[in-house]
Chains A and B, each alone.
Chain A
């Protein structure tokens, strides 16, 4: 088949046939490359992965926001605990006075 194609046809020069052959070969290489890329499905899988990552980003930001709020609440709890600690030290005197009053 190839030999019959390379034989000079009526009305065509060898140079024309050569250029046609080169064009067809380059087209075949391009088609092969595209088929290899298409068959690997890398484009689909990678775009799907990127899409999923974008969907997850919202949840990640929300989680980060919640964690920061939790850290602020923890700091407030620490302040409150320090205030309680300071005020609770007076309760002993109070109790002594109350005992004294109750005895009387």
Chain B
């Protein structure tokens, strides 16, 4: 019974909430939460080259400890600059891909337009030559009509020659008949 009584006293002492802070207590005995806030402020504000060693404070049976921080690197600026440079290079590369596509299309369009200009020149030459040819063939039309007339006359001459040939054959046959008599 006595042991349980002692144990209950110990448990009570452990479970008791700490007393509310007073001014005297704040200045003399800073609480662990306040210590952590101060540490974060120090870390954010300054770069302590020296590592803070974890220290322990015994305050009425409650142990407190400070956070161990790494020393700030001296070339953090260089690293930041390097990071932003590489980011900008990456973003430029992402945008350059689309630019290159546009340049490719532009070059293809330029070559196609050159091709079409050559074809236009060729077609202009062809149309000019065909117009000249049409005019020359139009000027040849009377000669072609003459050729048609010549053909008709030659046909008529041929018919006359056939008739003459037939007549001469008939005449020869009659002559031979008369000669036999």
A interface residues, Cβ below 8 angstroms from B: 8, 13-15, 22, 26, 29-30, 33-34, 37, 42-43, 46-47, 49-50, 53, 56-57, 60, 63-64, 67-68, 70-71, 74-75, 77-78, 81, 84-85, 88-89, 91-92, 94-95, 98-99, 101-102
Q: Mark B134-149, 1 if CB is under 8 A from A, else 0.
A: 0011001001101101
CB contact between A46 and one of B105, B122, B143 (< 8 Å): that residue: B105
- The distance from the CB of B167 to the nearest CB of chain A, in whole angstroms, is 16
- Mark the stretch among B51-59, B94-102, B170-178 that contacts chain A: B94-102
Minimum CB distance partner of A7 in chain B = B40
A78 and B143 contacting across the interface, CB-CB below 8 Å? no
B70 and A37 contacting across the interface, CB-CB below 8 Å? no
B40 and A14 contacting across the interface, CB-CB below 8 Å? yes
Residues of B within 8 A of A89 (CB): 143
A91 and B122 contact, Cβ closer than 8 Å, known pairs A14-B44, A37-B98? no
Report Cα–Cα, A22/B80, bound state, in Å.
10
Q: Is B162 an interface residue (CB 8 A)?
A: no
Identify 10 residue pairs between A and B in the complex whose beta-carbon atoms are under 8 Å apart, listed by A's number: A13-B69, A14-B44, A15-B43, A43-B98, A71-B122, A81-B137, A88-B146, A98-B150, A98-B157, A102-B157
A50 and B136 contacting across the interface, CB-CB below 8 Å? no
Minimum CB distance partner of B142 in chain A = A88
Report Cα–Cα, A49/B144, bound state, in Å.
55
Residues of B within 8 A of A63 (CB): 119
A98 and B153 contacting across the interface, CB-CB below 8 Å? yes
Minimum CB distance partner of A54 in chain B = B108
A74 and B40 contact, Cβ closer than 8 Å, known pairs A67-B119, A91-B146, A101-B157? no
Residues of A within 8 A of B115 (CB): 60, 64
Report Cα–Cα, A32/B114, bound state, in Å.
40
Residues of B within 8 A of A53 (CB): 105, 108-109, 112
Residues of B within 8 A of A22 (CB): 83
A37 and B94 contacting across the interface, CB-CB below 8 Å? yes
- Mark the stretch among B1-9, B16-24, B124-132 that contacts chain A: B124-132
CB contact between B125 and one of A14, A26, A71 (< 8 Å): that residue: A71
